[in-house]
A and B are shown apart, each in its own frame.
Chain A
Amino acid sequence: MRKLINIEVNGKAREVAVDVRASLLEVLRGELELTGSKKGCGVGECGACTVLMDGVAVNSCISLAVWADGRKVTTIEGVSPEPGKLSDVQQSFVDSGAVQCGFCTPGLVMAATALLGEQPSPSREEIRRGLSGNLCRCTGYSTIIDAVENVAKTRGQA
Chain B
Amino acid sequence: MQNDRLVIGGHEFTSRLFVGTGKYKDFVETKKAIEASGADVVTVAVRRVNITDRSKENLLDYLDPKKYTILPNTAGCYNVEDALRYARLARAAGVSDLIKLEVLGDERTLFPDTAGLIEAAKILVKEGFIVLPYTNDDPIVAQKLVDIGCPAVMPLAAPIGSGLGIRNPYNLKIIMEMIKVPIIVDAGVGTASDAALAMELGADAVLMNTAIAGAKDPIAMAEAMKYAVLAGRLAYKAGRIPRKLYATASSPIEGML
Q: Do A and B come from one complex?
A: no
Q: A residues touching B (Cβ–Cβ < 8 Å)?
A: none
Residue positions of B touching A, CB distance < 8 A: none
